[in-house]
Structure 1
Amino acid sequence: MYRKKFIPPLLKKPPTTDITNSEPPQKKIKLEPQSSSQKSADSDGGRSSQGSTGVRRVLPGSRITAGPGSRFNPPTIIRKPLIPVANPPAATEKEGPKPATDNSEGRYYFNVLWRKFQARKHKTWDGDGVLAIVNGNATLQDVNGRDIGTGRVSKIPAEGDIISLGGKEAEIDSVLAKSDFMAGKPFLKSKGKQLDTESTISPAEFYAKSTFKPPLLSGTTVTKINPQKPAARFDPNAEGALVMKRPDISSKNKTIVDVVVDPIISRHLRPHQREGVAFLYETVMGMRPYEGRGAILADEMGLGKTLQTIALLWTLLKQNPIHNQGPVVKKAMIVCPVSLVNNWRREFKKWLGNERIHVFVADAKSNVRDFTHGPVYNVMIVGYERLRSIQDKLKHCQVDIIIADEGHRLKTAENKSAQAIRSLATPRRVVLSGTPLQNDLREFFVMADFVNPGILENYSTFKKQFENPIVKSQQPEASKADKDLGNARKASLTDLMNKFVLRRTAKILTKYLPPKTDVVLFCRPTKQQLELYQAIINTTIAKRQMGSMDTALQLITLLKKVCNSTSLLKPKGKQDDETKLSNSILEEAKVAGSALVSGNSSGKLKVLEKLLVTLKETTQEKVVLVSNYTSTLDILEKMLNSKGFHHLRLDGKTPANKRQDLVDKFNRVNSDVAFAFLLSSKSGGAGLNLIGASRLFLFDSDWNPATDLQAMARVHRDGQKSHVYIYRMITTGCIDEKIYQRQITKQGLADSVMDQKAGGSNFTSAELKDLFRLDTETTCNTHDLLGCECGEIGELPGEDIEEEEEEEKDEPIQMTGWTRASVVDMDKQEEAYRKATSKARQRMKALLEFSHINPDKIPKSGTHDPSPGQSPRGEEDDNEEDVEEEPIPIVEDEILKTVLDENPKAISFIFTKNSL
């Protein structure tokens, strides 16, 4: 098939035209044929051009002439001269006021207000910023100099315009002089001298004029200083200024300035709180002689650990001891129980307000990205459970310091919350805990290693060198050598601990809080309780449970229910292991479905009911009722309803966002609206301020003394105006009393290590294992173990007996069983008993501070036996010159005295102590 040869098309550039010519474009170029004789180069000076096709191109606007000697006259092209045309003026638009700045280089600067994009109707601004426009490229920066948005602008904005950049909106506030921008004045905390009157004044400088009162709270504005001269943020020489310790830095390139706590907070700090802030600052800044930057603030409840922490964070977020460096902390995180999240938020608002700091609450509805990827929020408050679910998201953000409130929750190395915090690799960690040592020294090791990893080596070394010798020296049967070794190790551990642990007791609040009376009421069990208790422990199933601690816990729970109320043993719909065991034991004891279970018999409940009725009838006081079990709270709630007493309730089922509202309502209303507050110690026993009540009843005890101590501290706090009474209710001779004795043992160890008190294990191992024995003859088994000879009439026990020096190991009392009376050495037995009780008494620091009262020995109100030298009316006998004064009334609590007068047999024994 015939095919034509392919010839590629010519690629020719378009003719160059004058883009400034305002004439319309010319028509298409005309083409004329050219003869072969004219294919040579033309001599017309380049006015025509010829292609390979033999066609001459005629330029537009040219004149064509015919050449001689040709049949076809070839054209001669003559180009017209170019006409100079000036550029037309640009289209003018209505413009706003031009920036008073040097725009010869296309640079413009503005003070702006910026915010993230908001879809709501009433929008708010997130902060101040600076907008720089260079050749149409706009950059938005916040006051810290960080770029938060970029983009292109088509025109220069005027004052009042709103533009969008990188997901942010910025409103032009005023024009910023180029010289001020280049000097960095918008990003300085102190602006220095004011600009000349001819230059533009920024809003911050305008507000700084003495003729205009700034609409800001005190503490927000900063005194103007010379930016060239290093100076503190606040005046360290001012009256009452709290100045932090200076770091020891000898580098020539670093200038040290004073760090002064903001007066907005420091003026509210009490002396012990000022000391606490200084201590925390030195520890987290690495100024103390140990490896690490962690601390434990172990103040007792009510000393203001929250306020001290806020003062520390606010100082670190705004200041640095090294001049011209950013703040020490940019992001801080507070981890606490979920019931305290709103309490922390309210405390920040109370002391700093919403204008100074933005606090992010990481609840289920919030987006953690708002905290990790933005400069708006500096502090995040999160619950322990929520932290575990968001720890992966927090790894993308550098958290500079972590505060663990109620940090005793991190007492085990396997704790998931502790592992989540460790995964963030934050060097500065602070633990807040009123009860840092609760059960044993291992928990203290875990907490110390958490705040300062490696400070106590590993646990195996710590246990061998510290824990075992200290615990052994606290036992009553310890030898003198054991005591010496244990005391030496305890002193060494205490010396190291004091470098990063600060512990103060509530005694320092004497000047600030009203007095408090602690009362331990030993209530006699009812006949039904004794029969049911005895029937349970006599069953074969119960005896098998006593052999192992794992299985004994279920039996202990069952017996605790008997102590609280027999109605708690009613069969329930659910069939878990505990319920099955309870049903099996009751079935063997032949009491299931009987009147013992169907009734609501409880010695403690009857005493509590009588106390509440007397309070309601004779006073306007309010009360807090605390229990470890929601089922017990149900019993207490039914009792309140039967009496018509209005109440509020907070337990594990109460939504977290409503808990603080309940607390506020109870503190605000009178007793006619809310007489009682039912509180679960596991859900709300820590951190809450229930100062609306002046009396608290702890209905049952927990194995962990810290749980009860935290719960009992809810009413004796800042803001309390009335005398506070704390009642701990215990069933005499039952498991309740054994648990209380175990608490004393643990608390003795904590006091010995944390408070440097002489204390220890108060009872022998055999006594502590005797948990299930029912003592029906005693008035108070705890007082019997003390071997106290106080007289049981309210007088404080005598001074401690001096410890006898013994060269040999003390031998415990040997009980040989049945022995003929003729061969028993009674003097030896009495001496052995005296030594045993003497050593127990020496370590009973906690109980020896109480007055011991036996109600059977209390005279009736209005009557008493006259002292020698007195008449029955209390008048002095004229025959005696020196007459001793009548003792102070045994029971000072009028409410308790009324109950004892009406039913003296309900309470078998009383421990009472007045403090503060």
Structure 2
Amino acid sequence: MVLLKPFKPPLLSRRPSGSANSNASDASASKPERDDEAPSAAKRRRVDEESDGKADGDWVRRSKVVVRPASSSGFRKPLLGPANTGGVTTPSESEQRGEDGTPEGYYLVLWRKPTAKKHKTWDGDGVLAVSSGYAHLQDVSGRDLGKTTWNSPLLPGSTLSVGGKDVEVDAAISRADFMAGKPFLGGGTKITTPISTTKTSSANAKAFAPHKPLAPTKPLPSPSAPNTKATKSQFKDPLLNKTVMPRPTSSAVPQARHDPSAPGALVMKRPAVAPKGRQLVDVVVDPILSRQMREHQREGVKFLYECVMGMRPFAGEGAILADEMGLGKTLQTIALVWTLLKQNPVYEDGPVIKKALIVCPVTLINNWRKEFRKWLGLERIGVFVAEDKKTRLTDFTMGKSYNVMIVGYEKLRTIHEDLKKGAGVDIVIADEGHRLKTAQNKSALAIRALNTERRIILSGTPIQNDLSEFFVMVDFVNPGLLGKYATFKREFEGPILKSRQPGAHPKDVEKGRARSEELAALTGQFILRRTADILAKYLPPKTEYVVFCRPTSVQASVYRSVLSSPVFSAVLGSPEASLQLINILKKVCNSPSLLGRIPTESANSKENNTEDPSAQRTIATLLSSIPGSLLKSPGSSAKLQVLDSLLHHLRTSHPSDKIVLVSNYTATLDLLATLLTSLSYPFVRLDGSTSASKRHSTVEHFNRTPASSCFAFLLSAKAGGMGLNLVGASRLVLFDVDWNPSTDLQAMARIHRDGQRRACRIYRLVTAGALDEKIFQRQVAKRGLADEIVDAKANVAAFSREELRDLFRLDEGGGCRTHEALGCECGGSGVVPLDEEEEVFEKAAEDVERDTETIVPTSDRATDDEDFPDLSELLKNRPALVKANEVDMKEQERRIREQRSPATGSGGGKKGGKAKMRTLMQYTHLDASRIRGADEEELDIEALVDDEVLRDLLREDGNRIDFVFSKTWS
């Protein structure tokens, strides 16, 4: 047993000079230490020779002689860490101080539960936030693990106990990165570590390392089959099947498929590196496509190509093309697919993809087929359309004649398993991809089952509903980039929504803004969004008119009857019944005669939107309280009267113009069809009952037929509000409004598209003072947030009882409630003071600057009294300063809530409404009564309203137009 013990050299001690107890020290130091005495200390880090060893209890190395200080007990004190001379950040640099003076810092850590194991392991990675005297521990999924009081600085290697768990600090991160939530996004973002350390980085640090672009580090794959000729010439021994021999480098310069130096050539970005022994070649878009493309479309193709080829700095090969309607998303997609099908950046390799799948609504299948035929013809590419049971799917999966397949979302659910056979699918393009907004969407699950990494979403409208839908779309194109939804909801969705609440704490506002900016920066690498403003130089001008129609006496009576019904309060108590009540009031805004159809409709009707029999009975009881004579009164709809006059003036003064009439309800389309029939105006109709085979022919007939043969097009916003090109018409009437602004924007974009040659005019009819106007206000508030990542959309069923009551209130006081909510001082003259807000801000800035110049330290100013301004004159017209103990905090909070409340009636002031509906300040506001009244001579109506049809309508006696908002894009 003695032989197995380690050898211990004799210890030498240096006698301290001048020590009183030198003899005792010598005796103690010279006496060898026995094994049965105090246990030896654990292994410690070796100390550099340069250490001076003056600290008591340190091991000291001098001239290669180890000296151990004397100790009466036989134990030595713990070693102190070596002097940090390698540029390691000191606590003063890494630790910040909060407002309360306590240390503040953020760290990547390792954590584990307490264990008595000899070889301890860590349970996971985490994030430690130290602030306000507490250390708060979370794992990388954002789950809280505990907190403890802590007021000491931390460095890499520091250990502590938090929530019953052992924690070791791995690295410090910046406060900005923590507030942005980068530790919870995995490898998708770069984290700034202000502390440099010689400690070996753990898996936790590696997990948060910045993601490197795929192109520089991951060369494009080599061909799967080896070069047999090269193999036979170099070796005689048999090779393994997986052995791939490098091809001999050719001295010839690689030739691109199309000339990259030709004028107008669209050349794609090259990979940073080439596979070993291979050469790169330029990928050039086919000139038959590139010469037809506009500049923004060329940039869009480059963007998509870099995304699907892994050349952009994010972990994935997907993209979202979110251009507004009419910008040519279809052409950009066709150019990308055609390029990938025919070319590869690695010289002498096969094409990047062999099979492409385009998934779209069934109503757009023929449109896609037509676009491929238009740009590439029938001889260049084979397009397979799966639209009926007679088609053989093996023609696409097994054959070589078809490279592109077009299929509807519903059809894909039944054939996705068969698509895996054969060569498989190399890229998937989802048109109108905002349909894939839930993780359980069957179409999205079918596409995920194809195991295709390259995925593209096309959507003409940005994400508008909530962050959960945003997460689903991002996770669809680039799976795992944002982590798991539970983490995303806890660390991003929650803080962002919390920061937008009225009266949110400044720290919550800062955190929410940082998280929102981080998401915008990360997703902006693969989301491309352009607005229709760039079409101004390509298309004729477009003018939008928001026409506020004063309700008729019959409409007001029916509206009041619904609100005064004894079952009204019961209806508000049920979410299903509340939706029914909203549908009823929307029908009243369109025409009271539409209510006569509701009792006979099915309880499961889509327009009723309920399956609750009790709610249906409640609605039937509510309708029974309305006098039947009111529902059958002719001319009871204000919007229908305005539309009747508009069609008459249009047909009289501009007989060659055609018009599109859009509604969300088939019953309303029936009403409009009756009006057109009574006026003997020829029209066509497209709604949910129109078969897919007839849709294309209906649109072509309308576009090519003169107005004398086909004057109007009745269109359902839900069934045909997207993907259709109705450029044969130059005017469009949006008869009702929808909660979702994208629905209306999609419908209004049907006429202002490529191919349009006339100036477009769009009329949005809104019933003033009723539910119509309040829906419009909320819609505008959402459009104002469209540039942000998420729109905090208020769900109808999530309204409080008071908000619902205000939503249903009928305002009959005259004027325009929307204009009043804006706080605009134009008086309805049609001349909007566009600089009003800027003047207010400039004046406020001047006031603040003047105050700042006034209130400065006296050491920076002259001491003479004449150098100081007269404060009484300066503050004459300003609110007086109030002592802190005299401030009414409740009154102050009430004013803040008023300023932040929405402009939909729930006590919101002018400032709050103006902030919410800022986009309406870009419109001109015209009070129609000024045109009909004595002030008409003072107004230059031709300059205010450039539409002759609308001018004639406004001059007409007895018209029901109260206010008009207008804006022109040119």
CA distance, structure 2, for counterparts of residue 310 and residue 909 of structure 1:
45
1:862 and 1:350, CA in 2 relative to 1: closer, same or farther beyond 3 A? farther
The 3-state SS of whatever aligns with 1:382 is strand
Shift of 1:551: 2.5
1:421 and 1:591, CA in 2 relative to 1: closer, same or farther beyond 3 A? same
1:478 and 1:783, CA in 2 relative to 1: closer, same or farther beyond 3 A? farther
The amino acid of 1:696's aligned partner reads: L
Q: Where does residue 436 of structure 2 map in the other structure? A: 410
Q: Where does residue 650 of structure 1 map in the other structure? A: 686
Shift of 1:307: 0.4
Give 1 or 2 for the bigger CA radius of gyration. 1
The amino acid of 1:532's aligned partner reads: V
Q: Where does residue 606 of structure 1 map in the other structure? A: 641
Matched ranges for 1:80-229 at <5 A: 229=253
1:799 aligns with 2:837: yes
1:595 aligns with 2:629: yes
Matched ranges for 1:423-822 at <5 A: 423-474=449-500, 477-478=503-504, 480-571=506-597, 573-576=600-603, 578=608, 585=619, 587=621, 591=625, 594-600=628-634, 601-619=636-654, 620-753=656-789, 770-797=806-833, 798-800=836-838, 801-802=840-841, 811-813=892-894
The 3-state SS of whatever aligns with 1:788 is coil
Shift of 1:735: 1.5
Please give the per-residue CA displacement for 1:799-822, whole angstroms capped at 9, x wherever unaligned: 255499999999553799xxxxxx
1:334 and 1:686, CA in 2 relative to 1: closer, same or farther beyond 3 A? same
The amino acid of 1:738's aligned partner reads: K
CA distance, structure 2, for counterparts of residue 227 and residue 263 of structure 1:
28
Shift of 1:479: 5.3
Matched ranges for 1:40-59 at <5 A: none
Shift of 1:677: 0.3
1:236 aligns with 2:236: no
The amino acid of 1:702's aligned partner reads: D
TM-score, length-normalised on structure 2?
A: 0.64
The 3-state SS of whatever aligns with 1:604 is helix
CA distance, structure 1, for counterparts of residue 272 and residue 447 of structure 2:
30
Please give the per-residue CA displacement for 1:190-240, whole angstroms capped at 9, x wherever unaligned: xxxxxxxxxxxxxxxxxxxxxxxxxxxxxxxxxxxx996521111111111
Matched ranges for 1:274-293 at <5 A: 274-293=298-317
Shift of 1:744: 2.2
Shift of 1:863: 4.5
Shift of 1:640: 0.2
Shift of 1:539: 1.8
Q: Where does residue 175 of structure 2 map in the other structure? A: none
The amino acid of 1:912's aligned partner reads: S
1:891 aligns with 2:945: yes
CA distance, structure 1, for counterparts of residue 769 and residue 673 of structure 2:
26
CA distance, structure 2, for counterparts of residue 789 and residue 266 of structure 1:
50
Q: Where does residue 392 of structure 1 map in the other structure? A: 417
Please give the per-residue CA displacement for 1:534-565, whole angstroms capped at 9, x wherever unaligned: 11122232321212333311111111111111
1:303 and 1:230, CA in 2 relative to 1: closer, same or farther beyond 3 A? same
Partners of 1:439 and 1:746 within 8 A in 2: no
Unaligned runs of 5+ in 2: 1-222, 225-249, 849-880, 898-905
Matched ranges for 1:317-336 at <5 A: 317-336=341-360
CA distance, structure 1, for counterparts of residue 755 and residue 956 of structure 2:
34
The amino acid of 1:259's aligned partner reads: V
Shift of 1:752: 2.8
The 3-state SS of whatever aligns with 2:407 is strand
Question: Runs in 1 of length 4+ with deviation above 6 angstroms?
Answer: 759-766, 803-810
Shift of 1:642: 0.2
CA distance, structure 1, for counterparts of residue 945 and residue 832 of structure 2:
13
1:590 and 1:554, CA in 2 relative to 1: closer, same or farther beyond 3 A? closer
1:761 and 1:420, CA in 2 relative to 1: closer, same or farther beyond 3 A? closer
The amino acid of 1:330's aligned partner reads: K
Q: Among all aligned residue pairs of Structure 1 and Structure 2, give the percentage whose two residues are the same amino acid.
A: 54
The 3-state SS of whatever aligns with 2:766 is strand
Partners of 1:395 and 1:424 within 8 A in 2: yes
Higher helix share: 2
CA distance, structure 1, for counterparts of residue 561 and residue 632 of structure 2:
16
Shift of 1:707: 1.0
Q: Where does residue 324 of structure 2 map in the other structure? A: 300
Partners of 1:296 and 1:432 within 8 A in 2: yes
1:253 aligns with 2:277: yes
The 3-state SS of whatever aligns with 1:233 is coil
CA distance, structure 1, for counterparts of residue 754 and residue 807 of structure 2:
39
CA distance, structure 1, for counterparts of residue 570 and residue 471 of structure 2:
35
Shift of 1:481: 4.2
RMSD: 3.2
The amino acid of 1:896's aligned partner reads: L
CA distance, structure 1, for counterparts of residue 735 and residue 321 of structure 2:
29
Number of residue pairs matched?
A: 656
1:862 and 1:554, CA in 2 relative to 1: closer, same or farther beyond 3 A? closer
The 3-state SS of whatever aligns with 2:586 is helix
Q: Where does residue 81 of structure 2 map in the other structure? A: none
Partners of 1:477 and 1:810 within 8 A in 2: no
Partners of 2:737 and 2:775 within 8 A in 1: yes
Shift of 1:748: 2.7
Partners of 1:689 and 1:714 within 8 A in 2: yes
Please give the per-residue CA displacement for 1:470-520, whole angstroms capped at 9, x wherever unaligned: 344445655554443333222211111210000111111111000000111
1:327 and 1:589, CA in 2 relative to 1: closer, same or farther beyond 3 A? closer
Q: Where does residue 397 of structure 2 map in the other structure? A: 372
Larger displacement relative to structure 2 (594-603 or 569-578): 569-578
Partners of 2:577 and 2:618 within 8 A in 1: no
Q: Where does residue 929 of structure 2 map in the other structure? A: 856
CA distance, structure 1, for counterparts of residue 729 and residue 350 of structure 2:
46
1:481 and 1:839, CA in 2 relative to 1: closer, same or farther beyond 3 A? farther
Shift of 1:353: 0.4
The amino acid of 1:596's aligned partner reads: L
Shift of 1:788: 2.5
Partners of 1:697 and 1:729 within 8 A in 2: yes
Shift of 1:684: 0.7
Larger displacement relative to structure 2 (307-316 or 599-608): 599-608
Shift of 1:629: 1.0
The 3-state SS of whatever aligns with 1:751 is coil
1:587 and 1:498, CA in 2 relative to 1: closer, same or farther beyond 3 A? closer
Partners of 2:304 and 2:319 within 8 A in 1: yes
The 3-state SS of whatever aligns with 1:775 is coil
The amino acid of 2:354's aligned partner reads: K
CA distance, structure 2, for counterparts of residue 481 and residue 905 of structure 1:
53
